[in-house]
């Protein structure tokens, strides 16, 4: 620690926050939370924990949007297979133990309450913990921690923190995150799960930042997209091209980028994300005999079947079945994930001809 005087340290910390927030109270609180979350991660062993979600993205992409909570995965193979109740207890106790660790940064995390997630899935949190934060006895806001058990298949990598207390010569922490491809697949399938233009425009910005050209492996990303989509029940949506975003969505994404100083537009976000799904479709078309292709096309068929029973459109079912089984000869059905699986009226005659050609060619 550079400062011998606690008051000098607190004054220097406050000055840096005020300089960035420039009188914006909401931004000031978000910056406090961001600093507190990095200092909390400094208390976790990077070999036994990983941070995902928005803070994981912010660790990989330092200019990423400020986030509202901390998503932590605890790596303990001995806890695998235990009951949800037991995992909740063990994970919660472990997080509380790390929170109580004292450090040279003078930060203190005081838990105020905790609650289990009763519907947790393999990639979801087991417990949520609320905590008040103070520095040298002075209030520094609050943080929310969502913690769960890390699946052994999750690939991880180590990164240095953003050195938020470098001015005070406090050691910069090592923070573990899942891989870029894993985090991207998590964010993109959350978007699909919430019908693309739902209430998660920040996920679109996170996903687009992770999709910086040349920084990720398309084949690995495709595998994680398939796995996440299957677990979240949105496999069929991977095969439907994204609709052009609405003006509302565009405005929300542009506001997030502007507020966080991100040199990216909503148009760029959409291009990067839609490009991933186009590449995914191309991969399916070129590997129709593979297990990945089979699982995805089976999901497409089930999706269309559900729409058939809802709309009683035999023609739609037949065309969707042909598309699912013969992607090289036809196109995905539908234009966006939040529309019914149907063929536009002005395309019906062409689709009938395509279907007949496919059946004659393949049989």
Token pair 């050195």 is found at 163
Q: How confident is the model at residue 198 (pLDDT cuts 50, 70, 90)?
A: low
Cβ count within 10 A of residue 38: 24
pLDDT band at 200, cuts 50/70/90? Answer: confident
Axis-axis angle for helices 25-41, 53-60 (nearest 10): 80
pLDDT at residue 155 in the model: 96
Give residue 196's pLDDT.
Answer: 66
Query: Which of the residue ranges 108-112, 126-130, 151-155, 312-316 would you say has the lowest mean pLDDT?
Result: 312-316
The predicted structure's pLDDT at residue 107: 97
| Cα separation of the two ends of the chain | 75
Contact between residue 323 and residue 331 where contact means Cβ atoms under 8 Å apart: yes
Residue 7 pLDDT greater than 90, yes or no: yes
297 has pLDDT over 70: no
For residue 136, is pLDDT > 90?
yes
Residue 259 is predicted with a pLDDT of 87
Q: What is the mean pLDDT of residues 332-346?
A: 39
Query: pLDDT grade, residue 212 (50/70/90)?
Result: confident
pLDDT (0 to 100) of residue 352: 42
**Residue 323 to residue 297: CA distance in whole angstroms:** 9
The predicted-structure confidence for 27-84, as pLDDT tens digits, reads as follows 999 999 999 999 999 999 999 999 999 999 999 998 888 888 999 999 999 998 888 8
User: Which is more confident, 87 or 355?
Assistant: 87
Q: How many residues does the chain have?
A: 363
Q: What does pTM read for this prediction?
A: 0.76
Is the pLDDT assigned to residue 216 strictly greater than 50? yes
Mean pLDDT, the chain, rounded, equals: 80
Report in angstroms the alpha-carbon separations of 240 from 194, 279, 314, 331. 15, 12, 20, 9
Q: Choose between 301 and 128: higher pLDDT.
A: 128
CA distance 210 to 188: 11
Spans of all domains in the chain = 6-178, 182-362
């Amino acid at each position: 620690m550079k400062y011998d005087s606690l008051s000098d340290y607190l004054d220097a910390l406050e000055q840096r926050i005020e300089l960035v927030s420039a009188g914006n109270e909401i931004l000031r609180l978000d910056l406090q939370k961001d600093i507190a979350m990095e200092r909390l991660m400094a208390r976790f062993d990077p070999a036994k924990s990983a941070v995902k979600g928005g803070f994981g993205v912010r660790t990989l992409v330092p200019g990423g949007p400020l986030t509202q909570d901390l998503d932590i995965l605890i790596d303990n193979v001995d806890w695998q297979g235990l009951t949800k109740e037991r995992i909740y207890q063990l994970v919660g106790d472990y997080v509380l133990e790390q929170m109580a660790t004292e450090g040279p940064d003078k930060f203190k995390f005081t838990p105020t309450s905790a609650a289990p997630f009763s519907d947790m899935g393999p990639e979801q949190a087991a417990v949520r913990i609320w905590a008040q934060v103070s520095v040298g006895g002075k209030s520094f806001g609050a943080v929310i921690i969502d913690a769960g058990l890390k699946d052994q298949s999750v690939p991880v990598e180590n990164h240095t923190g953003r050195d938020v207390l470098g001015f005070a010569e406090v050691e910069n922490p090592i923070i573990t995150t899942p891989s870029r491809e894993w985090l991207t697949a998590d964010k993109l399938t959350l978007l699909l799960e919430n019908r693309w233009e739902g209430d998660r425009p920040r996920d679109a910005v996170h996903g687009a930042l992770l999709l910086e050209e040349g920084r990720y492996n398309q084949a690995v990303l495709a595998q994680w997209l398939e796995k996440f989509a299957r677990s979240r029940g949105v496999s069929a949506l991977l095969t439907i091209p994204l609709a052009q975003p609405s003006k509302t969505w565009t405005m929300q994404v542009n506001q997030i980028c502007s507020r966080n100083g991100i040199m990216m537009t909503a148009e760029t976000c959409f291009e990067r994300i839609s490009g991933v799904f186009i590449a995914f479709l191309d991969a399916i078309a070129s590997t129709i005999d593979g297990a990945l292709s089979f699982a995805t096309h089976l999901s497409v068929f089930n999706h269309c079947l559900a729409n058939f029973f809802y709309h009683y459109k035999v023609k739609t079912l037949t065309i969707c079945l042909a598309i699912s089984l013969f992607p090289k000869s036809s196109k995905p059905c539908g234009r966006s994930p939040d529309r019914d699986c149907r063929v536009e009226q002005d395309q019906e005659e062409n689709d009938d001809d395509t279907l007949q050609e496919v059946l004659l060619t393949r049989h």
